[in-house]
Structure 1
Amino acid sequence: MKPIPDQLLAEPGRAHGEATGEPTDVVRRSLLQWFRGLSPLFAGLVIVPTLLASLYFGFLASEVYVSESRYIVRSPSKPNLSPLGMVLSGGNIVGASEESEAVIKFLGSRQALETINQDGYVTRAWGNGSIFWFDRFGYLGKDTGEDLFEYFLGKVTANDSSSTMVTVLTVKSFDPQSAQTINRRLLEQSEVLVNELSDRARRDSIAFAETELARARQDAQNAALALAAFRNREGVIDPELQASAGLQMIGKLQDQLIASQTQLLQMQTYTPQASQIPYLRTQISNLEREIAAQTAQLAGGRGSLSSASVRFQELRLASEYSERQLSTALSAYKEAQAEARRKQAYVERISEPSLPDDAAYPRRLRSILGTFVLGLLAWGVASMLLVGVREHRD
């Protein structure tokens, strides 16, 4: 790169004895010589990009306004906390990380764009003819739905803080009102989404509790019917109680048998010709048959009370278990209903969408200087590469 000739540093009037402020032929020739002496590489990588950047950022680029809002997704403390966690949280309202992440994903989705652009407002705001053609949506025929979604992703950002759980929603547009309106629409749709997620979770919870309650009721009913059918079939109410009564009966019969046998023995010893001896023998025989019958009924074969007691115990335990399951399911259903009456998650706005009063972009001077610096870096790297290639050839 050649230095600027001294003639360019001198005032035209003093160099030629003239007071006029217009360039002289000498100055024109000096400028031409200076530009001709510039390296084409320097001109292509530094001067031309800087001039184009100056033209675009200085005169052509449309002003971009940024609307910002802040919100947090809150929900009641989760019920599955440990006892220590429940004491520390105190049942307070806390940030809902899952719902917050879902909202952020939604804000960058096609569904969010389609919802806020149902009336075409977003397309009109970003594709207005007053916007410079290179900046607006739809330039060079890129006006498809996919093009709009890509353009949307470049204008809308949602960032959250893991420590505060606060999400910052920013929207860029080419006038303050549209930036604020689009931001407000996205925020409203976020609230709708969180409410839908909460309603769906509540419905699923209640539906599951209702299903479990219906199943428990059916099991309890089946167990009760099975127990009733067993009692009707076997002709017993409670085998244990009946067995206890049977044992008492056998005990009484045995007492009578012993008394009759004792009386018979005495008569045979002292009055063998007594007329009561045949009666006592008949009575003893009847008592023995009755005791045998009662014993067979209690501990005999398949039809005995002992065998019926085993099956009765199984059915009674099943009935008691189903009753406990029904009680548990009923408690869970009531708890699910109580939980459903609370709003599990909601969007709390910390700051409403702002109405910007000044354009945030483009940052004209910074962009021009950045282009110039990058051009210098590219020119320096390219120059060193060319020098290396020449030295290698030599």
Structure 2
Amino acid sequence: MVQDFVATPDEFKRVDDHFDLSKIYGRYDFISRFGSFGSLFSTTDVALWGSYRKAANVSISKSGIAQISVRAPSPKDAHDIALFVLQDTIAHIRDLNQRERDDYTSAAKSAVADLEKAVSEDNRALQAFRIDHGIYLPDTYYTALMEQTTQLVLKRLDTSSKIAGLQGATPNSTAAKAFQSQLRIIDTMLAEVQEQKKRISAASARFAELETQHETDSRLLGEARTALLQSTIKASQDHYYIHEIGYPSQLNGAEYPLRLLSILVVFVISSLLLAVARPTR
């Protein structure tokens, strides 16, 4: 991957934008410089890319270690370009890892976000229900109404028994009339409790639906968060590793161009030109 990335047109463009390679490669001697014999007198971007690929090489050892070699007219140029390419390669590998993590976790993240939104909407619906009906838990309230109904029924039976006893012993008893008034109050309270029970029964079904939906979404949200954690762990286990073993060196001794080779090339070309130009008898 490192080998392929360094030679890509994209990386060449970034290096060229930062260093102006045509200007740097133009400082070679007449034979090697860009725009002369070195690039077959071409100054196109394709020719410059070719010169870059010749100057920036990556070799891979059997153990998987990549070595970046950069040639330039001066040690400083070679060092600066090598450092730039190394840092850009590391950044590219890290970007690939981040994209892979995003690919692994995108579906789980989307599911978590959707379910978090659903749970939030469920909470708002439950809150709106409680505000509209003035009840926090309909089941608990209904149980309280049932207990109140039982107490009122028992109270009514007791009052009715007292009225019957008083009327049997003393017709037109004043006390019996007082208990009858109390009985009417109990009947009114029973009627009100029955109406409240009917209202709560109708609302309980809607509350149960909202509560069930909230419980379901909350459970699914927990499962989605677990899936997201597992995806994150999987992404961390399956990614590209790159470690910087050595820092780009700045050697002062020139390795290129080979002066003797350049002189020999000039000599051969000159000899050929002289041989062609010499008149024949």
| Shared fold, TM over 0.5 | yes
The residue number in structure 2 matching 1:125 is 25
Unaligned ranges ≥5, structure 2: 233-239, 261-281
The 1-side partners of 2:80 and 2:186 are apart by: 103
What amino acid sits opposite 2:169 in the alignment?
T
C-alpha deviation, 1:258, in angstroms: 1.9
The 2-side partners of 1:236 and 1:133 are apart by: 87
Structure number having the greater strand percentage: 1
Map 1:168-207 → 2, pairs under 5 A: 168-172=67-71, 179-180=78-79, 182-193=81-92
Normalised TM-score (structure 2): 0.58
C-alpha deviation, 1:261, in angstroms: 3.1
Map 1:167-316 → 2, pairs under 5 A: 167-172=66-71, 179-180=78-79, 182-193=81-92, 216=116, 220=120, 222-267=121-166, 271=169, 273=171, 275=173, 276-277=175-176, 279-280=178-179, 283-284=182-183, 286-298=185-197, 300=198, 304-316=199-211
Corresponding residue SS for 2:38: coil
Measured at CA, do residues 297 and 179 of structure 1 come closer, stay the same or move farther in structure 2, by a change above 3 Å? closer
What amino acid sits opposite 1:146 in the alignment?
V
1:355 paired residue among 246, 251, 255? 251
Decide which structure has the larger Cα Rg and report it.
1
The 2-side partners of 1:138 and 1:360 are apart by: 16
The 2-side partners of 1:133 and 1:234 are apart by: 87
Give me the CA root mean square deviation.
Answer: 5.0
Normalised TM-score (structure 1): 0.45
Measured at CA, do residues 350 and 146 of structure 1 come closer, stay the same or move farther in structure 2, by a change above 3 Å? same
Measured at CA, do residues 307 and 173 of structure 1 come closer, stay the same or move farther in structure 2, by a change above 3 Å? same
1:138 paired residue among 36, 39, 42? 39
The 2-side partners of 1:307 and 1:165 are apart by: 72
C-alpha deviation, 1:230, in angstroms: 2.4
Corresponding residue SS for 1:259: helix
1:38-89 Cα shifts (integer Å, max 9, x gaps):
xxxxxxxxxxxxxxxxxxxxxxxxxxxxxxxxxxxxxxxxxxxxxxxxxxxx
Structure number having the greater helix percentage: 2
Please tell me whether residue 158 in structure 1 is matched to residue 54 in structure 2: no
C-alpha deviation, 1:146, in angstroms: 0.9
The residue number in structure 2 matching 1:9 is none
The 2-side partners of 1:136 and 1:178 are apart by: 21
Total equivalences in the alignment: 237
Residues 32 and 38 in structure 2, CA contact (< 8 A), matched pair in contact too: no
Whose RCO is larger (CA < 8 A, sep 6+)? 1
